[in-house]
Chains A and B, each alone.
Chain A
Amino acid sequence: MSSPGKLNSSSSELDLDRPNIEDYLPSGASIQQEPHGKLRLRDLLDISPTLTEAAGAIIDDSFTRCFKSNPPEPWNWNVYLFPLWCFGVVVRYFILFPARVLVLTIGWIIFLSSFIPVHFLLKGHDKLRKNLERCLVELICSFFVASWTGVVKYHGPRPSMRPKQVFVANHTSMIDFIILEQMTAFAVIMQKHPGWVGLLQSTILESVGCIWFNRSEAKDREIVTKKLRDHVLGVDNNPLLIFPEGTCVNNHYTVMFKKGAFELGCSVCPVAIKYNKIFVDAFWNSKKQSFTMHLLQLMTSWAVVCDVWYLEPQNIRPGESPIEFAERVRDIISTRAGLKKVPWDGYLKYSRPSPKHRERKQQSFAESMLRRLEEK
């Protein structure tokens, strides 16, 4: 950065690819009049802008809002509604729930009794085996969706099996994957989970071609990027589904998309998912409940209602960086699903922001101060 002699340049280079955070902050937060005039004592003592930003963040901030889940309130607030609501609870827990468990069990029996033979006996006939396994995975996902009485409306052309394309969607819960999978057997990139979910991942999802990553390992990124590229180029591979947010968000906001899916050199097909909270909130708050509890909550509600839009495939434009491309696609998905965008990285749930942001503020303050010192 060229500047009049006195200023030391930043040791952490400004990442030119990062979208401008100031574009997202609510007006009034950082759009202050550039102070001018000769530097006086009161200008140095007056730290009110910085303090106001800090207090604003303490009182309400856009990041925490993304993960806030409001538990649905029971509607039993009147004398005559209460017995009706009680009756509803009885029906949900003692009639619907057992029926759903039964449906799911039947589904698993059918699935396993077909999948295991197909997997082992058709070892030599790969193409046939893959096709059958694909259909079976779609089948078990349909059983899952039925077990929460999923009312899913799909809009747009169904994904086709072609190479050089990747699908991206906003992420609210792991059930996103199941809802999309029942229509098309996607290959997906996922975090390896412990418990019974992990078991499912390593056995059944392997067959549709899944890629594992480990959030906490730094080197992991390069390995995974290579795996993604290889997968996309393969003709016989199932279409790849990626959730670029990297974490579950509460379906009112979208956090920044990771650029990994957007630098694979292929077209990106956006998929927007919007849940209707009328019966249940489908947001899986992984800090508050395990996936099992989340599923049980879904299975004891009336229905899970959602809309899925398959949107027009996008390609990177000449001169567009992968991050700009990612932001453009995030814009498309957010507009379609009616979600607000926030400029935060979803991984901030697990780690602290990089010092780059603070340094940028410090730099602009220092520059302004030195500039005013020169003024008469």
Chain B
Amino acid sequence: MGNTSSMLTQYDIEEVQDHCNHTFSQQEIVSLYQRFCQLDRSGGGFISADEFLSVPEFAVNPLSQRLLKMLYGLNFKEFVAFLSAFSSRATLQQKIEFIFKVYDSDCNGKVAFSDMLDVLRDLTGQFISEQQREQVLTHVLEESGYTKDSLLSISDFMKTLWNSDLKMDVEVPVD
């Protein structure tokens, strides 16, 4: 396990639980702490990009670079808050908010055509030309009543994704 010798006290667990709005149980937080310490090999209190990329399953994910920017420098409390959207106790609203944050890389509350194009490029790679990507994106945007120049807000995302079958749950293994 990790090199940090500090154990989580009951106070720590409750503080973390508060910070993530009780989306994780106390046992899950203890498991997440063990995992955090396991990944944080250098013991710096946060997991570096290299340490994340040492997990092959994460390194092969098309959105890994985007997520690494969001995970940069997070301490344990913030790490749990980051993962809270994936808990089965999280609301659909919280999950959609997380997806919005992934798109909104400059955190200005608006998602532009270029943001959506960036994510689509990560997901499709070299298998579709840039031109085709723009065409497809423009096409589906116009079908939903937006244009290429529209700036989508969080409420637009809520409206679009509310009825979709969003499945974004990850189980935290508890010993």
Partner of B168, one of A48, A64, A359: A48
A41 touching B141 by the CB < 8 A rule? Answer: yes
Cβ-based interface call for A102 (8 A): no
Contact of A54 with B64 at beta-carbon distance under 8 Å, contacts A47-B119, A63-B57, A64-B55 already known = yes
Q: Mark A322-360, 1 if CB is under 8 A from B, else 0.
A: 000000000000000000000010001000110001110
Cβ-based interface call for A373 (8 A): yes
Residues of A within 8 A of B99 (CB): 45-48, 51
Bound-state CA distance A48–B167 (Å) is 7
B102 touching A47 by the CB < 8 A rule? Answer: yes
Contact of A42 with B164 at beta-carbon distance under 8 Å, contacts A48-B99, A358-B61 already known = yes
B59 touching A46 by the CB < 8 A rule? Answer: no
Bound-state CA distance A370–B129 (Å) is 12
B52 touching A58 by the CB < 8 A rule? Answer: yes
**How extensive is the interface on chain B, given as a class?**
35 or more
B160 touching A59 by the CB < 8 A rule? Answer: no
Bound-state CA distance A58–B144 (Å) is 34
Size of interface on A: residues with Cβ below 8 Å to B: 51
Within 8 A of B (CB), among A36-71: 39-64, 68, 70-71
B55 touching A41 by the CB < 8 A rule? Answer: no
Cβ-based interface call for B67 (8 A): yes
Cβ-based interface call for B48 (8 A): no
7 closest pairs, A vs B, by CB? Answer: A362-B125, A57-B57, A366-B127, A357-B60, A57-B58, A366-B124, A48-B168
CB<8 Å pairs between A and B, sample of 11: A11-B126, A39-B140, A40-B143, A42-B164, A48-B99, A54-B67, A55-B170, A56-B170, A59-B35, A358-B125, A365-B123
Residues of B participating in the A interface, judged by any CB pair closer than 8 Å:
1, 32, 35, 38-39, 52-64, 67, 83, 86, 95, 98-99, 102-103, 116, 119-120, 123-129, 132, 136-137, 139-141, 143-144, 146, 157, 160-161, 163-164, 166-170, 172-173
Residues of A participating in the B interface, judged by any CB pair closer than 8 Å:
6-8, 10-11, 32, 39-64, 68, 70-71, 344, 348, 352-353, 357-359, 361-363, 365-367, 369-370, 373
